Amino acid sequence: MGLLEFLHDSDLSLRPPEKVMHPTTLGSARLTRLSFSRSMIRRAASNNWKIERTSIDLDECGRGQIIYRVEAEDHIFHFVAFTTTIDESLHTDRVIADGWEISAALVEGELSENLLNFLATEVPKQETSRLDSRVLSITRGNRSVRFYEYLVNRLASGFQPEAEKVGDAGYIMRSTAFYGNGKFGMRSFLGFPPDHPLAAPYRAQFLAAWLFRETSYDSVEYCAQIRSPEKAVAFDEQWCRFFGLGNATGLGLIPWAMKHPKKLNAWVSVRELALAGVRALPNSVEHRELLEEWIEQGHQHFASFQGEDRWPWMGPDSLSEVILGIRDVFSSMDSEEFPFDALYLWAEEQGPEITELVVSLLLELDETSDDEVDRLLRVDNSDAPDLLMTVGDLNDKIAEEYFWLDDLDLESSQASHYWWVISDNAEEPRRAERSVINPEHRDVAIDFALRLNQLKNDLKKADCDIKVTQFLQDLPHHGIAVNRTVKDSGPYSEPRENVCDLDHLPLNLQRFQLAMYGMDNFKAQSTDWLRVTLFQGAPRIAELCPDTSDRWVWPQQPQTDQRSSFL
């Protein structure tokens, strides 16, 4: 059964799309056990992947090369990282930079000298590289300007980091992109057979991200050892998992979400199906105790970080108080027949952020197999739109599925305040004021709410009995809107907002996607972009085994400052 059929036929009580796809709901999402980072590590652990660092050749400044080998389910992969230094003034979160302090590639197969030389030539070029099907993903990024040298010097002196100086950041290096799926000549996602260990969506990119994070640890510890062979120490037990991989993202996520309705539907659906299943669970000691453990873990995490609210979201101080309230409310529900549903219904009355925090906690009780989730996440975009329906049929479909357009005030002047365009100097999606910049056919066609509203208005003037194909002959500019409407992309395929509106807040859609990736520690830098952390608390490659726990999320910030064992 496909995902759409499962959604339509399910006996589970699913949340309605008008709630789930509301901007503030999407903008309150948190990572869950269904997030890509966690499912990747579970796959690696349960299938006993063997990962080792096979080569490290760096100078005392961290310039050189690091190589990791992955043996996964009869497949061999290598992650090759080329490191250098650049002036701090050249550090940027923008994808259009010309140079980075780390450039890396994930490749399949044995690493011959010819392949290594090829990678050394092409991978540092990134945007101008020309690769081949041996390469699955490439990435790049920079060291933390504030923390990298501090950490090296601290370990070289024989001491662990001071929590008050580095604990709030949660990363050593920050990535700026993870490319894959055929870009620059790499292997297309369609090139993976179904039983391939990286055949799930984004799995290759997240394996690369996990090894990027490993590279940051190895680089710091190795440089510390070079600088002070007699005194240098490794990160101790408290710090060796704490740091994740930094990342920043901006407006580029908005066109992706708007242009891939079936994928967005799949991402939302796996969460909603799992949530419905958990809410239907009857009261049991086992499930109650598990949820209580996750609530306590969340409280300890937020309480150890501390910090004020981070507009437009709650900060650690508020979240630590909120989660105590969740604990108290849940404790009062021990006699409920369906306590998990009762907890959700209570949260729904508290607002989107508390609701989605409770959702993330409840989803820890979900037992859907990763293979089933992976299957549901694969979508087929090859179906052709049905243009043989009549104008009357199309009118009915819009009235039934796009009734929410009436709530967006699409006839107002502020509804079309922005264009979405490709920037000339950055070659990235941007939004520009329509009154200031004319896109001159360079606009990014994601103004679906406006297009659908215009289509709806013109359909009312057309003969209800003519075919849609005939309607488009006279009004071809409606082609994008018609194609969007006639395809059945699923109930959760459309964010309930107008991305061209003056009050549109891009952070909402961005946060949902980042939460699905498995990122956390959301820090908005403006209305348009934010910084996050990935794999914070995740196991290191040396710890990976079939018994690796999935409880690594929400780590506590280390509080001590002590010496560690020598390298």
Domain for residue 469, yes or no?
yes
Q: Tell me which of 445, 465, 486 is where a domain ends.
A: 486
Q: Tell me which of 351, 379, 407 is where a domain ends.
A: 379
Domain for residue 297, yes or no?
yes
Are residues 52 and 188 located together in one domain of the fold?
Answer: yes
Query: What angle is formed at CA 36 by the lines to CA 83 and CA 66, rounded to 5 degrees?
Result: 20
Domain for residue 564, yes or no?
no
Most confident of 39-43, 126-130, 141-145: 39-43
Residue 300 DSSP SS3: helix
Lowest-confidence pick of 65-79, 317-331, 370-384, 416-430: 416-430
Are residues 77 and 185 located together in one domain of the fold?
Answer: yes
Range 373-383 average pLDDT:
87
Are residues 50 and 10 located together in one domain of the fold?
Answer: no
Reported confidence tier of residue 427, pLDDT bands at 50, 70, 90: low
Q: How far apart are CA 266 and CA 243, in angstroms?
A: 30
Q: How far apart are CA 171 and CA 144, in angstroms?
A: 8
DSSP percent split of the chain into helix, strand, coil, nearest 5: 45, 15, 40
Count Cβ atoms within 10 A of the Cβ of residue 282 and give its class: 0-12 exposed, 13-18 middle, 19 or more buried: exposed
pLDDT digits (tens, 9 = 90+) for 386-424: 778 999 999 999 999 999 999 999 999 999 999 998 876
pLDDT at residue 384 above 90? no
Reported confidence tier of residue 190, pLDDT bands at 50, 70, 90: confident
Are residues 269 and 359 located together in one domain of the fold?
Answer: yes
Are residues 40 and 26 located together in one domain of the fold?
Answer: no
**Percentage of residues in the chain with pLDDT exceeding 90?**
83
Range 125-143 average pLDDT:
94
Average confidence score pLDDT of the chain: 92
Higher pLDDT pick, 176 / 69 = 69
pLDDT value at residue 165: 86
pLDDT digits (tens, 9 = 90+) for 233-292: 999 999 999 999 999 888 999 999 999 999 999 999 999 999 999 999 999 999 999 999
pLDDT value at residue 382: 75
Are residues 52 and 21 located together in one domain of the fold?
Answer: no
pLDDT at residue 505 above 80? yes
Reported confidence tier of residue 383, pLDDT bands at 50, 70, 90: confident
pLDDT at residue 4 above 60? no
Q: What are phi and psi of 271, to 5 degrees?
A: -70, -45
Residue 419: in which H helix or E strand, if any?
Answer: strand 418-422
Domain for residue 386, yes or no?
no
pLDDT value at residue 513: 97
Are residues 242 and 299 located together in one domain of the fold?
Answer: no
Higher pLDDT pick, 58 / 422 = 58
pLDDT digits (tens, 9 = 90+) for 138-185: 999 999 988 999 999 999 999 999 988 886 778 999 998 899 999 999
Report the number of distinct structural domains present in the chain.
Answer: 3
Count Cβ atoms within 10 A of the Cβ of residue 3 and give its class: 0-12 exposed, 13-18 middle, 19 or more buried: buried
pLDDT at residue 435 above 60? yes
Alpha-helical regions (H) of 440-541: 448-459, 468-474, 479-486, 507-517
pLDDT value at residue 567: 44
Higher pLDDT pick, 431 / 387 = 431
Q: How far apart are CA 174 and CA 215, in angstroms?
A: 11
pLDDT digits (tens, 9 = 90+) for 91-120: 666 666 678 999 999 999 999 999 999 999
pLDDT value at residue 565: 40
Structure tokens at 529: 């972009």
Domain for residue 500, yes or no?
no
Domain for residue 186, yes or no?
yes
Q: Is 440 left (phi over 0), alpha (psi -120 to 50) or beta?
A: left
Q: Tell me which of 330, 350, 379 is where a domain ends.
A: 379
CB 548 within 8 A of CB 538: no
Domain for residue 333, yes or no?
yes
Are residues 95 and 216 located together in one domain of the fold?
Answer: yes
Q: How far apart are CA 102 and CA 65, in angstroms?
A: 9
Are residues 89 and 72 located together in one domain of the fold?
Answer: yes
Are residues 66 and 165 located together in one domain of the fold?
Answer: yes
Are residues 53 and 85 located together in one domain of the fold?
Answer: yes
Domain with 435, as residue range(s), is 391-486
Range 462-474 average pLDDT:
94
Are residues 104 and 170 located together in one domain of the fold?
Answer: yes
pLDDT value at residue 53: 98
- By DSSP bridging, strand 244-249 and strand 171-180 are parallel
Candidates 517, 521, 535; CA nearest to 253 is 517
**In angstroms, what is the C-alpha Rg of the chain?**
25
Domain for residue 549, yes or no?
no
Query: What angle is formed at CA 234 by the lines to CA 534 and CA 91, rounded to 5 degrees?
Result: 45
